[in-house]
Amino acid sequence: MMRYSRIIGTGGYLPDDIRTNDFISQTVDTSDSWIFERTGIKSRRIAADHETASSMAEVAARQALEMSECLADEIDLIIVATGTPDLTYPSTACLLQKRLGIKNCAAFDIQAACSGSIFGLSIADQYIKTGAAKKVLIVGTEICSRIVDWTDRTTCILFGDGAGAIVLEASDQAGILSTHIHSDGEFEDLLYCPNLYINTEQHAPYISMRGNEVFKVAVNTLGRIVDETLDANNMDRSEVDWLVPHQANIRIIAATAKKLKMSMDHVVVTLESQGNTSSASVLLAFNEAVRDGRIQRGQVVLLEAFGAGFTWGSALIKF
């Protein structure tokens, strides 16, 4: 019998503080209309000083565990995707494990920038399919506001904070149909964020991006991954009920929807009020659409993301 990874719980967390475009326009030379027209973003959430990637991950994870009706101790693998870990080590996944009171399971972080949660789903799916794990918790959590240069109008308008979570369980019912992940290290210069511990005089520890060039590669690459995913499943684009994309720019999302010949009514968009929450964005959007009843059991959902590296990937799911 085929063994699938079935989604049994989702969760999300957004900090309380809402930072609007108008607020940002008071400190850098930009405007609400420029930001909204070019990106689709109106506001983003900003974590409070006491919050961290692991504290936000805990809230999202507890929600996902509650929906899945499984005890924390039943989880046998924790994967956290983050580019903004609390510490270099222990991993944010280990800090989350402690917060949840889980003993005796493996916990580790992965770093694939904005594609992190798709990479996490892919890894988890392999563990479940091989029988190495039965219940896996995957969390994408980011405090982008701490690695953004708030004087740089080309980047500070884009990012936000938050965490999304998912619980997968081994099942004979589908499940994740396939995952596809890729990386190309050639593109470091277009999008990167130096560490705090390297020479900060030469390399400010903030996100640096050549937005226009990233944009073009993202649109092309995401178009290709749609084809790759449908081909691998011998599926026509008309069979996909929902697109849950990484939330970087509404124009990138619209280009992927067009490729699928899908109306924007079937695309989950959270960008307007959340900005780009990096590895949290796909799981936050998925959680929102599951909880408000848009995504129903039995429907086919395409998740995709693109990020620094470059990294990109997709997951096709029968929910």
Ligand X SMILES: CC(C)(COP(=O)(O)OP(=O)(O)OC[C@H]1O[C@@H](n2cnc3c(N)ncnc32)[C@H](O)[C@@H]1OP(=O)(O)O)[C@@H](O)C(=O)NCCC(=O)NCCS
The footprint of ligand X (CB under 6 A) covers 30, 34-35, 38-39, 114, 153-154, 157, 209, 211-212, 214-215, 218, 248-249, 252, 276, 306-307
Only one residue has tokens 């309380």, namely 16
Closest separation in Å from C-beta 107 to ligand X: 25
Distance CA 186, CA 189 (A): 8
Which residue's CB atom is positioned nearest to ligand X? 211
Classify residue 27 as exposed, middle or buried by CB count within 10 Å of its CB (0-12, 13-18, 19+).
exposed
First-residue to last-residue Cα distance in the chain: 19
Active site residue 104: no
| Closest CA relative to residue 56, chosen from 15, 95, 115 | 15
Which of 21, 249, 276, 287 is labelled catalytic?
276
Which of 94, 193, 246, 249 is labelled catalytic?
246
Q: Which residue, 127 or 312, is less far from ligand X as judged by CB?
A: 312
Active site residue 246: yes
Q: Which residue, 143 or 218, is less far from ligand X as judged by CB?
A: 218
Active site residue 266: no
| Closest CA relative to residue 169, chosen from 98, 301, 65, 82 | 65
Distance CA 144, CA 129 (A): 33
Closest separation in Å from C-beta 281 to ligand X: 9
Closest separation in Å from C-beta 255 to ligand X: 11
Which of 114, 144, 156, 193 is labelled catalytic?
114
φ/ψ of residue 70, rounded to 5: -120, 150
Closest separation in Å from C-beta 114 to ligand X: 4
Q: Which residue, 89 or 150, is less far from ligand X as judged by CB?
A: 150
Q: Which residue, 286 or 312, is less far from ligand X as judged by CB?
A: 312
Question: Using an 8 Å Cβ cutoff, are 257 and 316 in contact?
Answer: no
What are residue 215's DSSP bridge partners? none
Residues labelled as active-site residues: 114, 246, 276
